Amino acid sequence: MPNSQSTLQKLSDDIIKEFALHITDYVFLTIENDKALLKRYLDQIATTGSLKGVNGFLGNQIKKQLNVGDVPGRGKNPRSKLIQSYKKHKIK
């Protein structure tokens, strides 16, 4: 039987790895499901006139503030309705 600590560590690593891959989708789901955040998000789009600009800025902030790196490919089927695709990430 494998060491339970190493098995638990592997499980933890796998969970965090999977979470990081889809972190951008989760951030946009958070916006979508919070009325106050959604209003502020939509106000920013209206103010700037650029959905792409707002989403790009948020995507860069996810990468910067959460200290994640990019992985090849894009998430093509986001759960959030606010985005059509997203960069996938990994923990640095």
User: In this predicted model, what pLDDT tens digit does every residue of 34-89 receive, in sequence order?
Assistant: 999 999 999 999 999 999 999 999 999 999 999 999 999 999 999 999 999 999 99
DSSP 66: T
Q: What is the mean pLDDT of residues 25-36?
A: 98
Confidence at residue 5, expressed as pLDDT on a 0 to 100 scale: 86
Residues in CB range of 62: below 8 A, 6 or more apart: 23, 24, 27, 68, 89
Residues in CB range of 44: below 8 A, 6 or more apart: 54
Confidence at residue 2, expressed as pLDDT on a 0 to 100 scale: 62
This prediction's pTM: 0.89
pLDDT at 17 exceeding the cut of 70: yes
